[in-house]
Amino acid sequence: MNPILDIKNISKFYGEHQALNDVSLRVPEGSVFGLLGPNGAGKTSLLRIVNQITLPDKGEVLFEDQPLKKIHVKDIGYMPEERGLYNSMKVGEQAVYLAQLKGMEKSIAVEKLKYWFKKLEIIEWWDKKIQELSKGMAQKVQFIVTVVHEPKLLIFDEPFSGFDPINAQVIRDEILELNEKGATIIFSTHRMESVEELCEYIALINKSKCILQGKLLDIKRNYRTNTFRMGLLTEEPDYAKEMIGKIYSTSETDFKSIDEELKLEIQLGEQNTNELLAYVGQWGRITHFEEVIPSASDIFIQTVRNNS
């Protein structure tokens, strides 16, 4: 898959502080891409460079194989973590102004903005001032002005911050619909559940460097440990645990179930799962069996610790 965004060897200094150190990453066209990292890792600095708010001290950014230029502003929508709406302006007036900055004609901007305002059920706030809106309502306005010009690349920095669960789901669904229509999505977020649910690709930045990137499923495969959770319904749980422990590396675990079974986490060595199931089945009825797949959160924590 061709990259819509190709970031090559970017470095950025603020005085003596190096915010980015030779960062390279590729965002596949049409993907949902998670940009992850601890606070202060350099994610926002990178996004500001992609949005041409600041310039890199070294390296280059290519947009659709072309050097990133001012003309690409119309092709990118950016919703920063620190929202940028003017409290004293009327909502509709401000939305139209921001849409025009992205190259939209006023009449078209008004038409499309009102479509979005109705869709997200905030049309009655068109003539209100931003300061009269709740945080969630203001977030919806910020989301609308980010997407209204139908950019090819949408960048969301903590997009669900400030939303209640219902409205977070509404925005999540809208983002996925935009992706289905062809937009490439970049998420910068600390919410690993959102990464698991939405992202096909990820990159992890830590201490100004990109330390991990790729397809999320491939990364999970690389981090798997051949470990399985098993539930065994047996009349002699202590004996079964002892016998299984003679062959396999085991530890007690927990998972939701309706039975009072022996619950074990078992790490395989050279053995295969068929051998495991046949052996454990001697001591009772197997009620639960699943591979322990590393979560995005597990990968995040392990990788950051290994690179600290």
pLDDT average, residue stretch 45-58? 94
Tell whether the model's pLDDT for residue 271 goes beyond 90: no
Percent of the chain with pLDDT over 90: 73
pLDDT at position 289: 94
Last residue in a domain, options 221, 241, 265: 221
The answer to whether residue 32 scores a pLDDT higher than 90 is yes
**Res 83 pLDDT > 70:** no
Domain boundary among 221, 249, 281: 221
Is residue 61 within 8 A of residue 10, CB to CB? The reply is: yes
- The verdict on residue 115 lying in a domain is yes
Instruction: Give kind and range of the element (H or E) at residue 250.
Output: strand 249-252
Over range 89-118, report the average pLDDT. 94
Domain hosting residue 242, numbered range: 225-291
| Residues 38 and 85 reside in one and the same domain | yes
The predicted-structure confidence for 180-204, as pLDDT tens digits, reads as follows 999 999 998 877 888 888 999 999 9
Q: Which contacts of 108-115 are long-range, i.e. CB under 8 A and separated by 24 or more positions?
A: 109/148, 112/148, 113/144, 113/145, 113/148
Distance CA 262, CA 232 (A): 5
The pLDDT value recorded for residue 134 is: 84
Measured between alpha carbons, how far is 257 from 71 in angstroms, rounded to an integer?
Answer: 57
How many domains does the chain contain in total?
A: 2
Q: What is the CATH number of the domain that holds 268?
A: 3.30.70.120
If you search the block for the tokens 């399985």, which residue do you land on? 228
Q: How far apart are CA 153 and CA 178, in angstroms?
A: 10
Same domain assignment for residues 76 and 119? yes
Looking up tokens 């509709």 gives: 92
pLDDT of res. 252: 92
CATH number at residue 119: 3.40.50.300
Alpha carbons 181 and 32: distance in angstroms, whole number: 12
* CA 25-203-196 angle, 5° bins: 145
